[in-house]
A and B are shown apart, each in its own frame.
Chain A
């Protein structure tokens, strides 16, 4: 069974706590859960000033504070930009790119499964 864990929840930022809820909500859907079942990747995410990284391995997800030194991919955006992506407001994404409110890096293919567990 897929599990979403947080390392030291009491000292995790609100961004990490929100993200855990989002991932929890998504992996209750078997189709979305299946998309991360075989992943072995680490994604750095920065929302506003808050930095976390997701370690996805064997179908489990762990959310840790701060950035990983060697991530598979990186997503940087304002909090509302990242929420807009989660809400499927993809029409807003080009504007966020133009205004530099949303940036991605690393292996972009690794981000595709992430989209399926970050839907709001």
Chain B
């Protein structure tokens, strides 16, 4: 694909005006890379659209000029997914962050692509304090729609699964410049759900921005109950933690259940380097959230929790009784990061090393321990602490195992090492039935060696049908 950069920039300035177009090396640098070890690629320009109509004009122009278009919000996906593999134009959607409406009857919020998790939280707390949203373990400035389209997860994913499951309807600018709606919005003005019609919304989530630009989305919100508690349970072995998470999932009583490996605990105390597990230290921390309509209901849930724990102890699961989060926060305010979401996660993001990367996977909970042990061995062999974030998903039907690496971004050798570690984890996880989400380009090379060929053929045909000129985030998913 060849484009005339000067012509693109001139036409872009004609569409949005010169003030919302970036062209200098300095301005474009931040778009060329992310926190990961992914190879940087410079874009040719970046533009800040303010409306769907502007995006339509930009897409039409990009088609005529054969110019790649890469949608971008916070760039915290940790898969290098907004790095312009083949140059082109960054559509920086951060200024399209309007919250259009909250439908309190059908419980959804209608937002734009730049709307962040913090925006939604602030809006609900101010205007609809009886409703709540779900927040990922990622910074507050992360884009809701981006995380939703990339099959991300959030703290209510234990109940609801990946965030794409919560999409009701979308407005999408297709790669041809047409505007399409999905879900009930194709037949009514009430964006209440996907509707009893083919879910063409699936053409846009899980596609890493290669099939269209979502300009509006209605996504579910949930009732906020007046009483809630969060507790941490220190588990002496990884296997104990997974046992508890699986057992607790099946009570159907909790809003969130998650687990963190031991280095995370040390990081909360400001420690970053030379982390070594003490011989008697718990290996895994399980956290649980539960909410209730009354104090009695809360106390009943606590009673069930204690009953489950007693039975677990009898069968040899080793753990400490739950520690309530308010106490932990009082002792160490850094625990606040796990007390309310979204959270800044400065202990992962603001390191001297400067690099953060991961392999996040969804897969069978039956293999949780095995995948974790094997991937921890890979991490530790390369000198990385075995950082793991985990969660049962959709009431325990499957689980998350996310392996995180902090690395020295300015050290080419360390970048190379962390890539090797990620690749080994990726393969190991796949061998055990875990499928990485937000998979980077190199990950798709590994998928392509295993993927069902008919499925892949259909993916390519769909891509070709929707994006005949191949302008949408080209190269991602090897499309």
Contact = CB atoms under 8 A, between A and B. Distances in A.
B266 A14 contact: yes
Chain B interface main SS type: loop
Interface stretch (B43-51, B62-70, B270-278): B270-278
A48 B265 contact: no
Interface string B239-275: 0000000000000000000000010011001010111
Contacts of A47: 320
Given A17-B266, A22-B331, A11 B278 contact: yes
Interface stretch (A35-43, A54-62, A77-85, A109-117): A77-85
A10 B274 contact: yes
Contacts of B278: 11-13, 16, 50, 65
A100 interface: no
Contact of B331 (A12, A16, A25): A25
Given A21-B331, A80-B321, A13 B269 contact: no
Nearest to B275: A10
Contacts of B274: 10-11
B269 A49 contact: no
A50 B280 contact: yes
Contacts of A11: 274-278
Nearest to A11: B276
B330 interface: yes
A9 interface: yes
B276 A14 contact: no
A17 B269 contact: yes
Interface string A75-103: 00011100100010000000000000000
B261 to A, nearest CB: 12
A45 to B, nearest CB: 12
Contact of A21 (B236, B269, B271, B320): B269
A87 B236 contact: no
Nearest to B278: A13
Contact of A14 (B273, B282, B321, B322): B282
A1 interface: no
B344 interface: no
B327 interface: yes
B318 interface: yes
A68 interface: no
B301 to A, nearest CB: 18
Given A9-B271, A48-B234, A49-B318, A14 B262 contact: yes
A14 B265 contact: yes
Given A21-B331, A80-B321, A83-B327, A14 B234 contact: yes
A47 B321 CA distance: 11
Q: Which of B273, B320, B321, B322 has the most CB of A within 10 A?
A: B320
B366 interface: no
B276 A10 contact: yes
Contacts of A16: 278
Contacts of B265: 14, 17
A69 interface: no
Contact of B271 (A10, A13, A65, A87): A10
B330 A120 contact: yes
A8 B280 CA distance: 15
Contacts of A50: 278, 280-282
Q: Which of B262, B281, B321, B327 has the most CB of A within 10 A?
A: B281
A60 to B, nearest CB: 20
Contacts of A21: 269, 331-332
A54 B327 CA distance: 22
Interface string B273-294: 1111110111000000000000
Contacts of B236: 48-49
30 contacts: A10-B271, A10-B275, A10-B276, A11-B276, A11-B277, A11-B278, A12-B278, A13-B281, A14-B262, A14-B265, A14-B266, A14-B282, A18-B328, A18-B332, A20-B269, A21-B269, A22-B331, A25-B331, A48-B234, A48-B282, A50-B278, A50-B281, A51-B280, A80-B320, A80-B321, A80-B322, A80-B323, A83-B323, A120-B327, A120-B330
Given A13-B282, A47-B320, A80-B320, 12 more contacts: A8-B276, A10-B275, A14-B262, A14-B269, A16-B278, A17-B265, A17-B266, A21-B331, A50-B280, A78-B321, A79-B320, A80-B321
Interface of B: 234, 236, 262, 265-266, 269, 271, 273-278, 280-282, 318, 320-323, 327-328, 330-332
Q: Which 8 A-B residue pairings sit nearest by Cβ, starting from the closest? A: A11-B276, A13-B278, A10-B274, A13-B281, A79-B320, A80-B321, A17-B269, A14-B265
